[in-house]
């Protein structure tokens, strides 16, 4: 199959990229069913932009930079803050039914480490509403073909190293070779590589593995954001209790009803996520269970303000109107990914990346709440525009090597689960050298003899994450080490890893 542009991933980032390209054929491949089982559709709290009368892009940028703990990329931060209001206006024009206040203006929620109310939302199902609107817009585009249930497995590179397409696996298992002038990776993050996660289990960093194996630079993989308030129930993944619940005044307490954030940070429950996640994890390590108590602040309004969370909690036997909600930290967002510039260019010609799969430097060492849907929209559209402005290449020159897949051997799910357990144990909220080294040894052993391509990719991303985390001998933002508990000015920079091209026979 031939196309002009192959977009891999149909979350907000991939869809925004596709909508910015109207001059050539675009194929969008999505492993997950369209609009389902992807982080974009699960986003609850909302989408941040400086829209309030007392707010400004400069203040949104300042909050984003502060969350980034000294290493956010200034240009990326300024671009996001400046372009976020237009991204919301575009969504309104596409029909996203954002909540409104009595005057008809957008109702803006408050979330942790934002100095102002700036989170637009559609009840607690913002991501689903946005994804639906973008999908409708994409479906109306005559130049776009949607390939649903199709998994990209490897990038194709030409003899010059440029990316020329990808090998896809069709739903029946057939391999499809797609050549394209440009490939946009929008495959999301790798939270699904953790045993305790709020993300879809399909978020396993496939794009990061594909790009790295093709030789693209990767960045900032050690920074994984843990959400402090996943619903603590036996479920995989764990349901999320949005930060917006704390924004409405719910408080974190232990089993005795004592507030755990008191004396930790003046912003208490609305301190940056890493601070809150560490405090919850520390309470758990000391043998205390942690609860989010919304009874006083929200009480009877809970079902109306947070209908999705209410339904899930009730389904788990917890009534948030009358009982504290049991919570625990879980992997939630991966800051690192394929290194890009502000227009989504990766280090490889022909390859762009955007959304959670990419690392622009926007988040530095920690992501500000509700900055990632808007990141996908702003940087996805920028990548799409850059692709549209790029010259069409001579596809006749073809591709160098078409790799063959690793046939599945045995129960590859069991090996995948080993990777996930080791990620949560060794690369969780609080890390140290011994735990990370143990995890890395396992990932390297699995990489050397993988039972399937997907487990080979999982181990590849996990090992790269462990190496980046071991090399950062300090604590900063989302990366916290018991053996190096302080930030070290010598590490006040981002991490760039060269992509690794392994021997083709082993890892196809
Ligand atoms: C529970 C939850 C709540 C959240 N709440 C918020 C919030 O309120 N506000 C906010 O800003 N952010 C929130 N986030 C984060 C935000 O949703 C994500 O960062 C963002 O949606 C990522 O968008 P994306 O397009 O990059 O990736 P995704 O939405 O993850 O989409 C990835 C796409 O790539 C496809 N894909 C992956 N691998 C392959 C492959 N090999 N081949 C083909 N297709 C592939 C998937 O099927 C999917 O279509 C939340 C995340 C979670 C998990």
Cα separation, 453 vs 445, whole angstroms: 15
Question: Which residues does the annotation mark as catalytic?
Answer: 273
- Catalogue the E-assigned strands of 170-314: 175-185, 218-219, 224-231, 251-254, 290-293
CA 41 to ligand 1 center in whole angstroms? 7
Q: Which of 40, 109, 122, 150 to mutate to test the pocket of ligand 1 (most atoms within 8 A of CB)?
A: 40
Sign of CA dihedral 419, 420, 423, 425: negative
Contact 67, 475 (CB under 8 A): no
Per-residue model confidence (pLDDT) at position 56: 96
Q: Is the CB of 192 under 6 A from ligand 1?
A: no
Q: Is the CB of 28 under 6 A from ligand 1?
A: no
Q: Is the CB of 64 under 6 A from ligand 1?
A: no
Q: Is the CB of 32 under 6 A from ligand 1?
A: yes
Q: Choose among 473, 401, 408: nearest CA to 436.
A: 473
Per-residue model confidence (pLDDT) at position 409: 82
Question: Which atom belonging to ligand 1 lies closest to the Cα atom of 240?
Answer: 1
| Topology classification of domain 2-223+335-397 | FAD/NAD(P)-binding domain (3.50.50)
Cα separation, 457 vs 467, whole angstroms: 15
Sign of CA dihedral 29, 30, 35, 38: negative
Question: Which atom belonging to ligand 1 lies closest to the Cα atom of 12?
Answer: 25
Residues in the chain: 508
> What are the boundaries of each domain within the chain?
2-223+335-397, 228-329, 412-494
Contact 171, 149 (CB under 8 A): yes
Per-residue model confidence (pLDDT) at position 508: 28
CA 465 to ligand 1 center in whole angstroms? 19
Per-residue model confidence (pLDDT) at position 396: 47
Residues with Cβ within 8 Å of residue 506, at least 6 apart in sequence: 448
Cα separation, 351 vs 373, whole angstroms: 22
Cα separation, 180 vs 1, whole angstroms: 9
Q: Is the CB of 29 under 6 A from ligand 1?
A: yes
Q: Is the pTM of this model over 0.85?
A: yes
CA 501 to ligand 1 center in whole angstroms? 26
How far is CA 95 from each of CA 15, 114, 343, 495, rounded to the nearest angstrom? 16, 26, 26, 39
Smallest CA separation from ligand 1 atom 5, residue: 43
- For domain 412-494, the CATH architecture is Up-down Bundle (1.20)
Question: Which atom belonging to ligand 1 lies closest to the Cα atom of 189?
Answer: 30
Q: Which of 6, 43, 382 to mutate to test the pocket of ligand 1 (most atoms within 8 A of CB)?
A: 43
Q: Is the CB of 199 under 6 A from ligand 1?
A: yes
- Residue carrying structure tokens 């990777």: 419
Contact 385, 342 (CB under 8 A): no
CA 60 to ligand 1 center in whole angstroms? 22
Q: Is the CB of 13 under 6 A from ligand 1?
A: yes
CA 105 to ligand 1 center in whole angstroms? 28
Q: Which of 38, 60, 336, 371 to mutate to test the pocket of ligand 1 (most atoms within 8 A of CB)?
A: 38
How far is CA 118 from each of CA 131, 231, 368, 428, 456, rounded to the nearest angstrom? 20, 25, 12, 30, 41
Q: Is the CB of 187 under 6 A from ligand 1?
A: yes
pLDDT profile of the chain (508 residues), mean per 10: 96 98 96 95 93 95 95 98 98 97 91 89 93 98 97 93 94 92 98 98 97 96 97 95 91 97 94 90 95 97 93 96 97 98 97 98 94 98 97 62 69 95 97 98 96 95 98 97 97 87 38
Q: Which of 34, 357, 373 to mutate to test the pocket of ligand 1 (most atoms within 8 A of CB)?
A: 373
Q: Answer yes or no: same fold for 2-223+335-397 and 228-329.
A: no
Q: Is the CB of 240 under 6 A from ligand 1?
A: yes
Per-residue model confidence (pLDDT) at position 62: 97
Per-residue model confidence (pLDDT) at position 404: 63
| Topology classification of domain 228-329 | Flavocytochrome C3; Chain A, domain 1 (3.90.700)
Smallest CA separation from ligand 1 atom 25, residue: 11
> Residue 337 carries which DSSP code?
E
């Amino acid at each position: 199959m031939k196309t002009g542009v192959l977009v891999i991933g149909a979350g907000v980032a991939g869809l925004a990229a596709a909508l910015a390209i109207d001059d050539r054929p675009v194929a969008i491949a999505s492993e997950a069913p369209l609009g389902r089982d992807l982080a974009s559709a699960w986003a609850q709290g909302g989408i941040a932009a400086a829209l309030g009368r007392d707010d400004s892009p400069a203040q949104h940028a300042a909050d984003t930079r502060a969350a980034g703990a000294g290493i956010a990329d200034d240009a990326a931060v300024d671009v996001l803050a400046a372009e976020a209001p237009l991204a919301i206006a575009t969504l309104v024009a596409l029909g996203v039914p954002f909540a409104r206040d009595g005057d008809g203006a957008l109702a803006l929620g408050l979330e942790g480490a934002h100095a102002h109310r700036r989170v637009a939302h559609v009840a607690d199902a913002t991501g689903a509403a946005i994804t639906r609107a973008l999908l409708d817009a994409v479906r109306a585009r005559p130049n776009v073909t949607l390939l649903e249930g199709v998994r990209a497995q490897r990038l194709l590179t030409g003899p010059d190293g440029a990316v020329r397409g990808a090998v896809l696996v069709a739903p029946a298992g057939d391999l499809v070779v797609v050549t394209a002038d440009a490939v946009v990776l929008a495959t999301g993050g790798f939270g699904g590589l953790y045993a305790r996660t709020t993300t879809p289990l399909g978020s396993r960093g496939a794009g990061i593995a594909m790009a790295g194996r093709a030789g693209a630079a990767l960045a900032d993989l050690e920074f994984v954001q843990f959400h402090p308030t996943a619903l603590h129930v036996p479920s995989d993944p764990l349901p999320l209790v949005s930060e917006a619940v704390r924004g409405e005044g719910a408080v974190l307490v232990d089993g005795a009803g004592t507030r755990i954030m008191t004396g930790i940070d003046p912003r208490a429950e609305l301190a940056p996520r890493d601070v809150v996640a560490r405090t919850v994890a520390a309470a758990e390590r000391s043998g205390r269970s942690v609860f989010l108590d919304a009874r006083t602040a929200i009480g009877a309004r809970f079902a109306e303000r947070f209908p999705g969370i209410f339904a899930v909690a009730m389904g788990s036997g917890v009534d948030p109107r009358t009982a504290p909600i049991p919570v625990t930290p879980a992997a939630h967002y991966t800051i690192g990914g394929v290194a890009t510039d502000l227009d989504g260019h990766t280090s490889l010609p022909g390859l762009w990346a955007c959304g959670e799969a990419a690392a622009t430097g926007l988040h530095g060492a920690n992501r500000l709440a509700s900055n990632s849907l808007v990141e996908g929209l702003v940087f996805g559209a920028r990548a799409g525009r850059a692709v549209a402005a790029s010259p069409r290449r001579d596809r006749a020159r073809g591709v160098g090597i078409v790799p063959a897949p690793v046939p599945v051997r045995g129960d590859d799910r069991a090996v995948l689960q080993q990777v996930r357990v080791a990620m949560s144990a060794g690369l969780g909220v609080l890390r140290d050298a011994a735990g990370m080294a143990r995890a890395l040894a396992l990932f390297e052993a699995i990489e050397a003899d993988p039972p399937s391509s997907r487990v080979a990719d999982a181990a590849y991303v996990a090992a790269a994450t462990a190496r980046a985390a071991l090399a950062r001998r300090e604590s900063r933002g989302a990366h916290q080490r018991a053996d190096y508990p302080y930030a070290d000015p010598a590490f006040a920079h981002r991490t760039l890893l060269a992509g690794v091209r392994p021997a083709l026979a082993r890892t196809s």
